[in-house]
Structure 1
Amino acid sequence: MVPQYVIYYRVSTKRQGDSGLGLQAQRAYIDHFYQGKPILAEFTEVQSGKDVFNRPELKKALTLCQERKAVLVVAKIDRLSRNTEQALTIYRELEGRLESCDIPNLDKFTLTLFIAIADRERELISIRTKGALIQKVKQSGQWRKGSEAFATGEAARLGHVIIKARAADNVNSRLAGAMITKLVNEGYNWSEIARQLNQAGFRTPRGKAYQAVQVQRLHQRG
């Protein structure tokens, strides 16, 4: 039986929902990996990712998947949830019929590992930040005076741009890696794979076209 797919998109704010920020990238990933596959429906949510159980569009998507025994698909797993328990609950409800473009061959183990690592890293960043602040206050009695860029918000804006760019590079590399693995298994050589990556719109972290040697390195690193 040929599987059918239900696509779920999520953006975190009303502004993002109106502007398409983030949604366009999600659609690009889905179009790339699921072009030509039977898609039953698409659902788009404009809501925070904190609680999956208060998302009406996700509920509709899950209900349709259960009724039609379809596969739920997300562009990135954090669009579904950033909470391990919630993600596993959905995985069990769907009897494993869950796919994400950024996790090739997703199963219970990889799902648990991927989200648990993300959760742990966010927790450690919070602990390190708070610890550094406490130590600084103990040493000097107050936190350092903010620079002009900090006061005007320019530093925060630039930091957000850098973080977002790095995150995009990581996601693009994972998606490119998934495509490389697929093409390697189909018997394509490095040069042909590089050509197909470039035709699909993929670029290296430096914004350049892929060459055979870069394809090989990315595959070996993955």
Structure 2
Amino acid sequence: MKKFISWRRVSTMKQGASGLGLQAQTEIIEHFVKSEKGELIADYHEVYTGKELSGCVELRKAMQHCKESGATLIIAKTDRFRNTIEALQIYDEMEGNIYFCDLPHTDKFTLTLFFALAEREALIVSIRTKAALAAKKAQGYKLGNEKGVDLSKANEASAKARTEKARNNKNNKIIWGVIGQGGTPTAEDVQRMSLQLNQMGVNTSTGLGFTPERVRTTFHNLKRIFR
């Protein structure tokens, strides 16, 4: 059975706290691991907003783990990298032993072409957006926060309100009651917890049944709220 190790990344704390970006990547990865009749032996994920790929600490850990175990690095989407240079750098370091779910079984040429097309499309969208905004402004529309209003307090209040809402969510309380005891759950713990939650008829925030990996993701998301 082919072994896989996943790496997931979101670029904002908002996505990391909600779990939506990370959870979506988990579901994509699980689907393709199953379609390849493989086994996901480990997962690494992080919230990283920096511009330097070297700052992705969990990515480096995942790559090293793959080299030591002979596993394939699996990534949900190629857009976890910003450009062709980053993608090819990792491709070369992994000697091609990397699986992109939105571009499976790719080679270096296809990966380069794919990113070139994506970057071209992004440029065209940017040009169109700027032109549309300029046209609106010329027509007298006020765009964005033109008066320089400080929105930091409003954003902070909004974040607190979302956290409080999540803390008071009945489903979250039930889940945390099962998985939030003690420290970070072990592999044995998440297996037991997923079975327990499924037996209780409790689903994830997206309405899915629990798997060990979803227990891990949910634990990391909820510990920011309840601890």
Provide the TM-score with structure 1 as the length reference: 0.57
CA distance in 1, matches of 2:12, 2:130: 27
Cα drift, residue 45 of structure 1: 1.1
Matches within 5 A, 1:1-222: 2-35=1-34, 37-48=38-49, 50-79=51-80, 81-131=81-131, 142=138, 144-146=140-142
3-state SS of paired residue (1:99): strand
Q: Which runs of 5+ in 2 are unaligned?
A: 148-207, 209-227
TM superposition shift of 1:113 = 1.5
Question: Do the aligned partners of residues 17 and 134 (structure 1) sit closer, same or farther apart at CA in structure 2, a change above 3 Å counting?
Answer: closer
Deviations 1:172-218 (A, max 9, x none): xxxxxxxxxxxxxxxxxxxxxxxxxxxxx9xxxxxxxxxxxxxxxxx
1:186 equivalent in structure 2: none
Paired with 1:51 and 1:110, the residues of 2 have a C-alpha distance of 24
Q: Which has the higher contact order (CA 8 A, sep 6+)?
A: 2
SS in 1 for 2:140: coil
What runs of 5+ residues in structure 1 fail to find an aligned partner? Answer: 152-200, 202-222
Paired residues of 1:82 and 1:118 also in contact (CA < 8 A): no
Taking structure 2 as the reference length, what is the TM-score of the superposition? 0.55
Q: CA deviation at 1:91?
A: 0.2
Measured after TM superposition, the shift of residue 131 of structure 1 is 4.6
In 2, are the aligned partners of 1:82 and 1:119 still within 8 Å (CA)?
no
Report if aligned partners of 2:12, 2:48 keep a CA contact under 8 Å in 1: yes
Q: Distance in 1 between matches of 2:25 and 2:136?
A: 41
| Counterpart-to-counterpart distance in 2, 1:136 and 1:39 | 50
Moved over 6 A (4+): none
| Number of residues of Structure 1 aligned to a counterpart in Structure 2 | 145
Cα deviation digits, residues 22-44 of structure 1 (max 9, x gap):
12211111121213522231001
Identity, % of aligned positions? 47
